[in-house]
Amino acid sequence: MEKINRSFQAAVFDMDGLILDSERTVLKCWEKIGEKYGFADIVTYGISVIGKNKKATIDEFERVYGESGDRYERELREIYNTMAAKGEVPLKPHTIELLSSMKNAGMKIAIASSSTREEVTSQMAALGALPYFDTCVCGDQVTKSKPDPEIFLLACDALGIKPENGVGLEDSFNGVRSCKASGLYTIMVPDIIQPDDEMKSLADVILPSLKDVQAFLNLR
């Protein structure tokens, strides 16, 4: 396994699709809504808004389907939260091992997620991961959605580091664009959507799993 010959003061993680195996669950929720209300090709829409916050998701729904997406986004969250409460949205493999190794190395750790603060903290707490994070910056705390770098820059400020001294981890295209624009060393760990030429040029490295991230960063 390739290893990087440098260390970082901090790490900033996306949540959905990276450390939480949520994106497939969200697409299943959109599929149920599409079947219920007759929205064609809604899974394609669902994939297109991966990594975007609530407002951007609703705006895109209106653009695609010609009506407000607010009620459908709320219904999706209700379906999703029911599944999450049943433990049907697990952590990705090796999440805790990676977070533990970062803490052991003295790194600060943040979440920069397009989900709301309530969603982030409740899900991470329920799965036992919240104590590993020094701070969480969430979609309802920013004015600009990914791919704008605002959320990663705010996370760096909250951790008290300069972006060039931190590493950011993302799975989505908009997330990688946001992370790279912030100045963080950008690691992509793809989930549903595999990297295209743009992602290969933007990400500093693309790795298949969080276990590979741990090895790449030379963490124990």
pLDDT tens-digit readout, 94-109: 999 999 999 999 999 9
What pLDDT is stored for residue 1 in this prediction? 66
- According to DSSP, residue 208 is labeled S
- Identity (one letter) of the amino acid at 84? A
Mean pLDDT per 10-residue interval, the chain, length 220 residues: 90 96 93 97 93 87 96 94 84 97 98 92 91 96 94 98 98 95 98 94 98 96
Nearest to 126 by CA among 170, 169, 89: 89
What pLDDT is stored for residue 53 in this prediction? 79
Q: 10-21+90-216, what's its fold?
A: Rossmann fold (3.40.50)
Burial status of residue 102 (CB atoms within 10 A of its CB: 0-12, 13-18, 19 or more): buried
Which CA distances in Å does 96 have to 40, 92, 206, 214? 38, 9, 20, 11
> Can you point out the beta strands (E) in 45-124?
108-113
Q: What is the pLDDT of residues 177-203, one digit of tens each?
A: 999 999 999 999 999 889 999 999 999
What pLDDT is stored for residue 61 in this prediction? 97
Whether the pTM exceeds 0.85: the reply is: yes
What pLDDT is stored for residue 30 in this prediction? 97
What pLDDT is stored for residue 190 in this prediction? 97
Q: Which residues pair with 78 in a beta bridge?
A: none
- Percentage of the chain beyond pLDDT 90 is 83
- Radius of gyration from C-alpha coordinates of the chain: 17
